[in-house]
Amino acid sequence: MYKLMRLRWNFLPTYLLCQEAFQAPTPFLPKQRTVGIPPNNRQHLSSDAVVGLCLQGHSAVRLTGPMKGRSSASSEDSVEPSRKALVVEDASFLNRPRSDFEHDAQPGPDASSRSNERHNTVTPLPISARRPASFNWKSDTPQPAGDSSNRTPSISTHQPPSLTSTSPDRPPGGKCAEAMRHDAASADGKHDASQQHEYRAALRSPFSVTLMAFMTAVLGITLLYAIVDSSWSRQVEEKGCRMSYMRPSYVRLHEFDTEHTRFATKYSLYLYREQGIDTNNKLRGAPVLFIPGNAGSYKQVRPVAAEAANYFHDALQQDPDTTARGVRPLDFFTVDFNEDITAFHGQTMLDQADYLNEAIRFILALYQDPRMTSRGVDLPEPTSVLILGHSMGGIVARTMLTMPNYQSNSINTIITMSAPHARAPVTFDSQIVSIYNDINSYWRQAYAQKWANDNPLWHVTLVSIAGGGLDTVVPSDYANIESLVPETNGFTVFTTGIPTVWTSMDHQAILWCDQFRKVLTRAIFDVIDARRPSQTKPRAERMRMFKKRFLTGMETSAEKVLSNNEPTTLLTVGDDVLASAAHGEQLVLRDLGGKPELEAHLLRIPSDRLSNGIQFNLLTNNPLDSPGEHGTLEVLFCSPAGHQSLQSPELVHLKLGPSNDRVDAVKLLCKNAAADQILLPASTDFTTQPFVSKTGQGHLPFIFLQYDMEDIAEYLYVAVIDKAVKPTSAFVVADFSSETQAKRIQTVGAGRLAALGLTMTLPGDRPMTAEVQFPNLKSSLVALHLEIHSPACSSKRLLFSPMIRQYLAHPHESRFYVNARRVDLSMHGAAPFLPPPLTPSSANDQGLSLQIWTDPTCESSLEIRLTVDILGSLGKLVIRYRTVFAAFPLLIVSLVLRKQFRVYDSTGVFISFSDSLDSCLKQSLPLVLLSLTLLSLSLRGSETSVTGILWDTWDANAPTTDFHSNDLLTGTRDSFFWFLVPLIGVVCIGVCVAIHLATVALTHILGLLYGYTMARPLWQRQDGRRRASTSAFVPSSPRRRMITTAVLLFLVSTFIPYQFAYLVACLVQLFTTVRALRITNEIGSTASHDFYNYAHSILLLMLWVLPINLPILAVWIRNLAIHWLTPFSSHHNVLSIMPFILLVENLTAGKMVPRLAGRTKHLTSIFLFSTAIYAAIYGISYAYMLHYLVNLVAVWLVVIHSTSDGWSLTGVNSLFDSRESFDAKGSKRP
C-alpha cells in the first residue's frame, strides 16, 4: 500500500488497464477476480475511486505502470517509462517475480496515444531482454542498473505474448458489476481465496513435502533400512579365525635411495626378521616381496613371515629330504607406502608399481653381494621374486608386469589375498578405471596367444584368494580371475573351502588368521626350489601344488596320484578272505580296534565299472596311515601280485589272518591311498561350525576318499586295514554308487523357487554321498534357506550327523555345513558388473550344487526343503550396490532440476525442490524408471553391449568376448532381477528427500547462527531490515573477483587438485543458500523465494557430485600430510572446475538465472535429461563421468547467466579500478 500511495495517475488509462488486468488468467496461480466499472460512470470517477474499486473483492491489488505527471520516481519506475503498463493483480500475486509480470502484463501504450485508450485497447511494444542482476529483495522486480536497450543477448530470452483485448486466453471485456454479482452468488468465495493463499504459503515452506513425495520417501527409507538391517543381521557368517602371534623386527634398507628410484623420499623398503630365529640380517633363502593394500602398512607382513620362519626352523630344517629338494628359508621384504590410498587414485598405483620394479631390481642385486648373503655357493643367484599382495597390492603386482621398467622374468608367482582383480572397487577416478582396462587387456591378450614365445606371461602363475561373505571392504566377487587367466596359469579360491581353514574372514583377518597363514606358508614352501635361478618349480608343478593346498580335492579337475605311485605293500591273505569279500556293496565298520591283531576288510571293485559311471567313496573319522607309518587305519588298492613284483625290497609285507601261512594264501600288490585323502570338517551331534574353535580344541577332521572308476580300473580290491590294538570310536563307511543313484539335477529357477519353493525326497536306500545340482541358481544376489528332515534312527546310534557341502565349480567356492538341519546358503557366482570368463564353462559346471553326506546305516528317507530367503537376499545388495548412491540420486536430482527450469522458463516461477519432485513423481520419474526396467529386460541373453562395441572399435586387438557386457544399469542380464531398477529408484528417492530436508535443516541452523553473529541493537534493526535486500547480495568488485578466481585456478593447475576447489565451491554455495534463506525469511518476496529455490537446487546437485570428488581429495590430503613437497601429479585440469567456480560466483552475487525462450530453453532440459539417463545406465560403472556431465550443465548455466551481462567499456575498466566502492555493474554503492 505504501507503493500505491506514491502512485499518481489519470482516470481513463487507469480504469482501462485495471479492467484488462483482472480479466487476464495467470497459470500456476489462484484465479483472479474481475472488477468492472459501469461505462456511464467512467468519466465521473476520481483516481481514488479507481483505487477503491480495484481494491474490492477478497484481496488487495497492486498497480504499477507509467504515471503521468509524476514528480518523483525511483530508478525502478524511471526506466523506459513509455513501455511500462499499469498492472492490477490480486494481492496473492505480490510475490511473483519480474518474469511473471512480463508474461501477464505487457507494455502499455505510448503516453501520447490517447485515442487507443478511449477504445479500451492496448498496443504493445516489444520488450528487450534485460538482466535480472541485483535483485531488490523487497520488491518483485529486479533493480535495473542502467540502460540495457543496446544489449543483445546471445541466447533468446522469453518473449511474452502481446496483451490485447482480443486475446484468446481471456474473455472479451469484463465489468465490475458482473464481478460483484459473481462474488455475491458465491457465499464462501472469501473462504476459498484464503485457503488458496494458505496453500501457497504452505508450499513455500522449505520443509514442506507433498503427500506423494512423503509416502515415496518413507517407502524408500524403509526399504533402505530393511536392506541395511539384513546385511547386519541375516545371512551373517560366523567368525572362526584364531589369533596369531609373532616377534617381529624390521631392517630398513637405506641403500635403496634416490640413486635407484625417484620415489625413495616417499617410500621405503624393509627386510623382515623374526626375533629368536633370524640371528642376523643376511639373506639365506628365496626372496618374497609383500605388497600392502589400500592404506595398508608394511608391518602387515609379520603374521605370514613369522609363520614361515617358525615352520622352516621347527620342521623343514630338520628334514634332509626337504633341503635336498631345494627348500630354503624365505627372505620376506616389505614396502612402506606410508599407507597410501591406492583404491581411489590411479596415479598412486602407477607410482607404486614403478617403485616396486626398481625394488625388485635392487633385491636381486643384494643376492649378488657376498656381504649380504649367506646362501650356499652351490645355489644360483635368484632371478625372480615371489609376490604376495593384499587387497590393492595384488592389483599393483599385476600392474608391475605392464610397466616400462619391468625386468623380464623377475616375477613368476603372484599370490593375492582379497584383491579386486575383476574390476575397480570404486570408479570415481578416470585414471584407475583406465589402468584396470589396460592391465586386464594386457593379461587377456597375453594368454590369448597361441605360442608360448608370444606370451610374456606364459611362466606366470596367479592365485587369487578371497575371504568370502565377511569381507565387507571389497566384494569377494571381484577377486574372480576367470576373465583374466586360464586354468593352466591360475584360479580363484575362497577361504571357506580351503582344507583346515573352512571359515570366512574379513578384509584384514585374512592377513593374520592363524589357520590360513599356516596353509599359505606351506603352499609357498611347496613351490620353492632354490636350486633353480627362478627360485620356484616349473609352472605346471606350481599349479599342482597350489591346487593341492588350496582346493578341496573334490573338483572335477583334481588330480589323483594313486595310479602314478609305486606299490607300497605286499598283502598276504587267505583265499577264503577273498571269497568273502563284498562285491560292490557297502562296507560299514564301527569301533575300530575290536580285535588285538590286524584285520583286513576287502571290498571287491565291480567289474562293470566303466559302463555305469560308478564312483567309489570312503569316509572315516580316523587319519589314514601313509606308507611306513604305524597308525590305526590304512586303505589300500590291490591287485594280484606278479612274480617280478615280489622281489622289490621296498615293499611292506602284511600277513593277515590265521590262514596267511597256508598254501592257498593269495598275495596282493597294493598301493597306499593316503596321498589322495581329502579333509572334511567333522560332523557330529556336538559340532556347530566346520572350523576348529578359537581355543584350538575340537574334533579331528574327517577323511574322505573319492575315485572315479577310471582312476581305479587296474585294481580288483579295496583293502581297509584295521591296525588298532585297542577299541576306539573310529568308523569307516565305504560304498560304490552309480551316477543315477547319487546325482539329481533340478532345473528350477530363482523366480519359481521364490514363489513356490522346492521340496524333494531322497530314498532310504541312497548312497552315503548324494548330490543335487541347480544349474539355474548361480547369482550372488540370491540367498537361500535349506531345511533337512529325517526320521530319527532308533535302532543304532548314528556314525555321523548330516553334512552339506555347497559349492560352485567356477570359481572354486565351497562352504561346509556340519550337523546340518537348517542352514542359510549364499554364493559368489554370477555377480553384478563382473566380466564373463575367458572360456565359458559347461552346463554341468554352472550353478549351485549341494553335496550331502548322510549315515547309510539309518535307512530312512531324507526330505529337503529349499526356499529363497527374501529378506536375506536384500542384504546382498549392500556390498555390491553401495556405489549406486553416487549415480542414481543424480538421476533424481537432474530430473527435478529439469522440471524446475521448465516451469521457470514457462511461467517465471522457480518452484521449490519439493514441488518439482512431486511433479516428477507424477510424470517423468515413473516413465524413466519404467523405461530403464524395460531396457534391463531387453539385455537378457545379449552377448554385447554398447560399451563393448565402442571399446572394440577403439581397440583393434579386442577379443571376441565382450568383457564390458555387464557394465549397463544394474550390472546383470538375469531377467529375474528386473525389479532392481525400480527398487533402487525408490530407495534413492527416499535418500534424496532425506538429504534435501537435511540440507534445509542445515541451512536453517547456519542461518540462525549467521543471524546471531550479525545481531545489532534494537534501534538499528529496523534500518538494517530495510537495507537487507541491498546488502545481503552485494558482490565484490570485479577486480577482486577476477583475482580470486585467477589465484584459485592457478593453484589448481599447479599444486592442488580440482577436487579441492570443488569442495570450496560447495561450501561457498552452501553459504550462498544460507544468505538467500535469511533474506527470504526477513522479506518474503517472490523474487527471494525464487532465488532461494534456485540456489538450493544447485547446492543439492553439487552435493550429489561431491562424493565422487572426495576420495581424490582424501588422497591429496594424505600425501600432503606425509610429504608435502611431493607434487600431486594428477587432477589439475582447470576446465573441470572453472564452470563450477563461475556458476557459484554468479550465485554469490545474487544473480538469478535468466529465463529462456524459443528453442534454446530446450537445451537446459537436454543437458539435465542426458545427465540423468547416463547416471542411471553407466553411472555405477563409470561414476567419474558424472562430474564431467554436471560440469557441462554448469557451463550451460554460466552461458545463460552471461546473456544478462553486458560487456561495456565501463565493465572492463572496472576490472582494473582499485576503488572497492564499485558494485558488479560498475555503479556506486549507496
Cβ partners under 8 Å of residue 780, min gap 6:
477, 826, 827, 828, 829, 830, 831, 832, 876, 880
Largest CA distance in the chain: 150
Is 84 within 8 Å of 66 (Cβ atoms)? yes
Distance CA 681, CA 687 (A): 9
Smallest CA-to-CA distance from 1101 within 881, 898, 883 is with: 898
Is 418 within 8 Å of 465 (Cβ atoms)? yes
Helix extents (H) in 687-780: 739-742, 750-756
Is 387 within 8 Å of 411 (Cβ atoms)? yes
Give the three cell numbers for residue 1077: 534463506
Helix extents (H) in 1123-1183: 1138-1148, 1161-1177
Active-site amino acid positions = 391
Cβ partners under 8 Å of residue 221, min gap 6:
990, 991, 994
Instruction: Report the Cα 1015 to chain-centroid distance in Å.
Output: 46
Distance CA 492, CA 494 (A): 7
Q: What is the DSSP letter of 707?
A: E
Distance CA 737, CA 251 (A): 59
811: preceding bond cis by omega (within 30 degrees): yes
The span from the first CA to the last CA of the chain, in angstroms, equals 25
Backbone φ and ψ for 804, nearest 5 degrees, come out as -125, 135
Pairing, β 784-789 against β 862-868? antiparallel
Residue holding cell 535495473? Answer: 144
Is 729 within 8 Å of 591 (Cβ atoms)? yes
Distance CA 539, CA 462 (A): 10
Give how far Cα 418 sits from Cα of 411, 778, 1221, Å: 20, 21, 62
Smallest CA-to-CA distance from 850 within 802, 783, 805 is with: 805
Distance CA 507, CA 510 (A): 6
Cβ partners under 8 Å of residue 188, min gap 6:
none
Q: How many residues does the chain have?
A: 1230
Give the three cell numbers for residue 702: 574327517
∠ CA 1111-1116-1117, rounded to 5°? 95
Is 1039 within 8 Å of 1217 (Cβ atoms)? yes
Pairing, β 769-774 against β 490-494? unpaired
Give how far Cα 395 sits from Cα of 400, 458, 480, 1182, Å: 9, 19, 12, 19
Buried b or exposed e, range 407-438, using 16+ CB within 10 angstroms: beebbbbbbbbbbbbbbbbbbbbbbbbebbbe
Distance CA 495, CA 878 (A): 21
Give the three cell numbers for residue 116: 487507443
Smallest CA-to-CA distance from 109 within 165, 54, 55, 46 is with: 165
Q: What secondary structure, in 3-state letters, does 605-654 show? A: CCCCHHHHCCEEEEEECCCCCCCCCCCCEEEEEEEECCCCHHHCCCCEEE
∠ CA 741-745-748, rounded to 5°? 150
